Amino acid sequence: PTMVNGKLVALKVIRLQEEEGTPFTAIREASLLKGLKHSNIVLLHDIIHTKETLTLVFEYVHTDLCQYMDRHPGGLHPDNLKLFLYQLLRGLSYIHQRYILHRDLKPQNLLISDTGELKLADFGLARAKSVPSHTYSNEVVTLWYRPPDVLLGSTDYSTCLDMWGVGCIFIEMIQGVAAFPGMKDIQDQLERIFLVLGTPCEDTWPGVHSLPHFKPDSFTVYSSKKLRQAWNKLGYVDHAEELASRFLQCFPKNRLSAQAALQHEYFSQLPPRLWEISDINCTLPMPNDRYFPDTWSKTQTRLL
């Protein structure tokens, strides 16, 4: 962090190569972020362009969800989990309505302020989606959070790409471990997904056989399981298993949108005033909405 005009800011400095000009991803990130004003999206204060560097001046946010979960192992307090997911969906709903995909959702790219405010960051791979039929590079999103359609070589994706990542992050916040921590390669990553959700076929996923990397004989045939069989803590949080299952759909068009997810029963107990906040107002802190110490109760009752 650096002090500018008495404010802590984070500087992202991109060195420019004389012969290359300004890196395209940096320009893309800057132009997209300049137009986004929302409390759940990191604020870009300024862009400083010199001959040698492009510097993006961001608001400073002291930690990210990855570090936060490292400090609170074993899964987050159910109330914090709900507030974090609510804010993540709020930020995504805002960008998706503007035809922008994030494309690299993972805990490291979700910043957490000391009051529990969550902000989407690192839009380096994001791009405006003006025409649904665009084909995009499939080399995006860290493998663990990458949806099966992208792993299988699909480049024809829309906002449902980000919703798979939401499901993975939701489960990681509940369970305290990554949902699909592949160890080797794309094949291994897909096997881990199919082990839980079932190996897809044309009946469950129309068009899967025509994806570039889909070879029916190369995958073990698994039948789908209940999510709590893979992640037992989903059974402790009311409505969590059902919501997670709406995000973790192999067939992209079946994934719940960010906007629809905010209406899910899982959020029915949130304080009503949280729904009345405008885009640019801070979501937290509010009286009684401060987040809780993150330790799972030993006597947590199982919700069946």
CA distance 117 to 101: 21
Per DSSP (E only), the strands in the chain are 2-4, 7-15, 44-49, 53-59, 63-64, 100-101, 110-112, 118-120, 127-128
Phi, psi dihedral angles at 34 (to 5 degrees) = -55, -30
Residue type at position 62: H
Q: Assign residue 83 a region (left: φ > 0; alpha: ψ between -120 and 50; beta: otherwise).
A: alpha
Beta carbons of 69 and 173 less than 8 angstroms apart: yes
Q: Which H/E stretch holds residue 34?
A: helix 24-34
In this structure, what token pair is assigned to residue 187? 């094949």
Paired with 8 in beta bridges are 3
Q: What are phi and psi of 272, to 5 degrees?
A: -55, -35
Q: Identify the active-site residue in 104, 149, 162, 294.
A: 104
Whether residue 156 lies in the annotated active site: no
Please identify every residue annotated as catalytic: 104
